[in-house]
Amino acid sequence: MYSHPIFFFFLENMALIIALMFLGLKLKEFILLKIDNPLRYMWLSALFIGFLSFSIMFHPLLLEGMRLDLREVPLFFISYIGGWKLGILSAILPGIFRFSLGGPTLTEGIIQGILLPVLIGALFHNKKVLNHPYTIINIKHMIIGFIVFEVIKTGLMLWTTPITFSISIAMFFFATVAILGIGLMLNDFNRNAMSRKELEFLSNYDSMTHLPNIRYFKNEVHKLISHKIPVSICMFDVDYFKHYNDTNGHPAGDEVLRIIGRLLKESVKEGDMIARYGGEEFIICYSNVTSSEDVTVTAETFRKKVEEYIFKNEETQPNVDVTISIGVTIPSQNKTLDELIGEADKALYQSKQNGRNQVTIFKSSM
Residues labelled catalytic: 280
Question: Are the C-beta atoms of 328 and 347 separated by less than 8 Å?
Answer: yes
Task: Write out the E strands in 69-226.
Answer: none
Q: Based on the number of CB atoms within 10 Å of its own CB, is 132 exposed (0-12), middle (13-18) or buried (19 or more)?
A: middle
Q: What is the distance between the alpha carbons of residues 78 and 104, in angstroms, rounded to a whole number?
A: 28
Q: Do the bridges between strand 324-328 and strand 61-63 make them parallel or antiparallel, or are there none, so unpaired?
A: unpaired
Q: What is the distance between the alpha carbons of residues 38 and 44, in angstroms, rounded to a whole number?
A: 10
Residue 249 backbone zone (phi > 0: left; psi -120 to 50: alpha; other: beta): left
Question: Are the C-beta atoms of 99 and 110 separated by less than 8 Å?
Answer: yes
Q: How far apart are the first and last CA of the chain?
A: 95
Query: Which helix (H) or strand (E) element contains residue 219?
Result: helix 214-226
Q: What is the distance between the alpha carbons of residues 273 and 218, in angstroms, rounded to a whole number?
A: 9
